[in-house]
Structure 1
């Protein structure tokens, strides 16, 4: 983070040097590149308006979407359409890691649809990422509202083309995609029969949840495995800044952590490590996975084992390197590490976080292993002005979609949404963890991590995960059955 380029007062700069931590991107800019999608699909493109909310012609762009009709029973039999709301990255990555949809499509006779989020993957306005990301004017159409409108327009046109106007649609999404699925269900209820919003931190805005929630959950994931591991991490993060105060210290840190180039600031290394801890908490799955990185089952357990089992006399920072290598180099094929990488093209999230996706974060000195910090609105405004020439609108999301007093407002205005969360996931603290009504349902598992339920079933699935998916299938079937019954009755009348 280039803190010295920002137009801040000297006092604010000194505060930020102590420790700066904003919310990590939902998935992970250091994640591995995806393999070719193993599921069968067709790749298609649809011409979308650049601005759905103005009658001025602002142009158009080509939106990529993946579609599979192999199991669809057709329009005459009201075969359902399962649509995944694309996240902040390449749509093939999300499709390949949403095996739950592929698993249940045959039993429902469903069509699968994976539209890509505008400004991500290949769905770039203005013809290229360079042009689309050029400045605040070209980026101004990168919003959740525009993305949901894209999905709605595409869905209506696709149903028309397939003569499937009478077919029920169920939305799916994980993380930011889960937020989009829930918001689309709330904003456009006439287009769908329900939504599964998995690991969707839909309440992580303004003052709805305590700002320290995310990092407390990350910290508790490590503490529950090993108190000494927790303490080692906490001590190391406090050590980095003092070592980084001179060139010799930076050189030593670069050597200890096997960096490919020179280390400019200790904060860069601290961010790299903190990102790993956050993402490890998100993908703390009970079996091996390769969603973000190639990782073992219970990866935090393995991180702490490597830290705690180091030989007597091993330094704190060497223990940290041993542990963090589980995340960044579990396969052992990396010789040195780059601190800045974006294999999934997720850099657009920084714009979204500087405009409407303002998620306040802080670190609690009593509960967190991270250095103490508070969310600083002035710093965020200055940072975003420096990057894009815009100021964040921290209250816009709750104005547009709600969130305050959601138990009353959504109960009266919403229906048929599953909020699925695992309490190991640090984003669960910003999601809905209790039933809002009979049809706005919270499914919560103690051992679940980031949208684990959306991943493909495996022989290693624990019983609680099997039961969670069984509950989701039952609810989805109920939505579809109710829709078919109601539409059949209406037709008879």
Structure 2
């Protein structure tokens, strides 16, 4: 999910043979990138809030320091306007979001006070000494929402805000869900919310993810050729794995030969090359800071053009060339498909990790969200089914986290928040047709007091990024529509 965080996440690239750069629908560092267009503007310093560790136990007085950022440059404390709260998510908060992005444009228009609270257990907000299973028990959407409620109350007191001041929550990806849930659970504190690309339905077998990936290839290219070539490439790889595995090893630059590879190793290999396309589609053409400007033009259309280009090269070679680009982009020297290496990394209980362990814990205990191959067997094969992901939960966190546990956890989440039947008002749900996460969100208005905006042709959290001259008319219109909802809710022109 990763888009993950929210408030802007850096792509942390370093030379490695280990961790996948894209796991469980989450990019390294989280699901939201840093906003494009930043050119050295002064950034607000980090501030620290004394937060409670366990909101479920009133008698537990343990506390920790939670990071947040404030931009009050548009605010008149003598004539108090709204407060905009950007919700942190599955990665570190990035202060560049305090000066760039659509929400900043809205803040300038409505003279809002802008605050961004980092999510517990991500970035530099460390509630416990490590991230052992015992300590991860305090990582949940429930605790995160309670953090926000406690924080809002404290900021009302700190800034001496009048009771009439209205708080508006903003979030993208998992924090898009949190924004809606915050409005649902704490309506006395949060007046309205903008929920961007938020998956509201917890679903263990998220087979629809790759179905949307394939549909997005068709939508953006206007035909079937790219899907056909991708299907051919995977069929060729599957056949060669039986007869000439050394060719696949060489073309896909794997870190070790397939000889002696376990069943889970092979599943991880297939999942990795499918993830290359998932990553490409999920963040297609968004206006964020790229790890390198030379990859800015890495889009569905350019990659599909590469796959469908005329010539004698077989489809698998073209897919391997794309894989090499992804390895280079993420500074990986080779494709490490080792299941044991992945599990070892996810078992790391120190704070030095970049959030993958924490996000996986949340998928195992709350959401599922496992992007299985079950929905697009013809294109990607069926090498990474649900059992593959449940096995990871058990291997990383313990046998308790089995299929029944994960399913029961997702059902509890849906029961607690309402899933796609969420009963709330003054929330605008925003999704893009190219974003696979829209399959778990509200894309059609069911209640005029909780409208939906479905943006044709855009990907994950596209409406949150700064304006660009390359924005489609549909994206431009969506940003205007969001502004109009905010104006109406705030009673402002």
Into which bin does the TM-score normalised by the smaller protein fall? Answer: 0.7 to 0.9
Structure-2 separation of matches of 1:458 and 1:476 = 22
Cα deviation 1:221-250 (Å, max 9, x = unaligned): 22342533312322333444554569x72x
**C-alpha contact 1:219 1:368 (8 A) present in aligned 2:** no
Structure-2 separation of matches of 1:66 and 1:461 = 28
**C-alpha contact 1:83 1:113 (8 A) present in aligned 2:** yes
| 1:112 equivalent in alignment to 2:114 | yes
**1:163: how far off?**
0.3
**1:262: how far off?**
5.7
**1:41: how far off?**
1.6
| 1:91 equivalent in alignment to 2:93 | yes
| 1:152 equivalent in alignment to 2:162 | no
**Pairing 1:260-279 to 2, within 5 Å after superposition:** 265-279=265-279
Partner residue of 1:67?
70
Cα deviation 1:355-406 (Å, max 9, x = unaligned): 1112365545678622237964x665554233212332231111211126x1
Structure 2 unmatched runs, 5+: 1-21, 347-352
**1:270: how far off?**
1.8
**1:27: how far off?**
3.1
SS of equivalent residue, structure 1 residue 112: strand
**Pairing 1:219-258 to 2, within 5 Å after superposition:** 219-224=214-219, 225=221, 227-241=224-238, 243-244=240-241, 249=245, 251-258=246-253
| 1:386 equivalent in alignment to 2:395 | yes
**C-alpha contact 2:433 2:459 (8 A) present in aligned 1:** yes
**1:34: how far off?**
6.2
Structure-2 separation of matches of 1:120 and 1:292 = 20
**C-alpha contact 1:38 1:96 (8 A) present in aligned 2:** no
Structure-1 separation of matches of 2:375 and 2:178 = 33
Q: Over the residues paired in the alignment, what is the CA RMSD in angstroms?
A: 3.4
**C-alpha contact 1:299 1:326 (8 A) present in aligned 2:** no
> CA 1:86/1:289 → structure 2, altered by over 3 Å: closer, same or farther?
closer
| 1:194 equivalent in alignment to 2:192 | yes
> CA 1:93/1:324 → structure 2, altered by over 3 Å: closer, same or farther?
farther
Cα deviation 1:15-50 (Å, max 9, x = unaligned): xxxxxxxx9534313889969995522210112111
**1:292: how far off?**
7.2
> CA 1:365/1:427 → structure 2, altered by over 3 Å: closer, same or farther?
closer
SS of equivalent residue, structure 1 residue 152: helix
**C-alpha contact 1:435 1:442 (8 A) present in aligned 2:** yes
| 1:216 equivalent in alignment to 2:211 | yes
SS of equivalent residue, structure 1 residue 189: coil
Partner residue of 2:411?
395
Partner residue of 2:283?
283
**C-alpha contact 1:37 1:92 (8 A) present in aligned 2:** no
SS of equivalent residue, structure 1 residue 443: strand
**C-alpha contact 1:119 1:142 (8 A) present in aligned 2:** yes
Structure-1 separation of matches of 2:64 and 2:236 = 49
> CA 1:145/1:38 → structure 2, altered by over 3 Å: closer, same or farther?
farther
Partner residue of 1:441?
451
Structure-1 separation of matches of 2:388 and 2:266 = 19
Give TM-score, length-normalised by structure 2: 0.79
Structure 1 unmatched runs, 5+: 1-22, 485-493
**1:334: how far off?**
7.0
Structure-2 separation of matches of 1:98 and 1:338 = 36
Partner residue of 2:468?
458
Structure-1 separation of matches of 2:376 and 2:333 = 37
**1:299: how far off?**
0.2
Partner residue of 2:161?
164
> CA 1:283/1:73 → structure 2, altered by over 3 Å: closer, same or farther?
same
**C-alpha contact 2:101 2:464 (8 A) present in aligned 1:** yes
**Pairing 1:306-345 to 2, within 5 Å after superposition:** 306-309=306-309, 311-312=311-312, 314-325=313-324, 327-329=326-328, 336=334, 344-345=354-355
For residue 477 of structure 2, the aligned residue among 450, 467, 472 is 467
SS of equivalent residue, structure 1 residue 234: helix
**Pairing 1:14-53 to 2, within 5 Å after superposition:** 24-29=23-28, 38=40, 40-53=43-56
SS of equivalent residue, structure 2 residue 88: coil
For residue 489 of structure 2, the aligned residue among 467, 479, 487 is 479
> CA 1:46/1:290 → structure 2, altered by over 3 Å: closer, same or farther?
same
**1:434: how far off?**
1.3
Structure-2 separation of matches of 1:193 and 1:395 = 28
Give TM-score, length-normalised by structure 1: 0.79
Structure-2 separation of matches of 1:441 and 1:256 = 48
Q: Which moved more, 1:364-373 or 1:136-145?
A: 364-373
**1:259: how far off?**
4.4
Cα deviation 1:102-142 (Å, max 9, x = unaligned): 22221111111111111111111224xxx1x22x2111111
Structure-1 separation of matches of 2:432 and 2:362 = 25
> CA 1:335/1:140 → structure 2, altered by over 3 Å: closer, same or farther?
closer
**C-alpha contact 2:44 2:95 (8 A) present in aligned 1:** no
Structure-2 separation of matches of 1:118 and 1:86 = 8
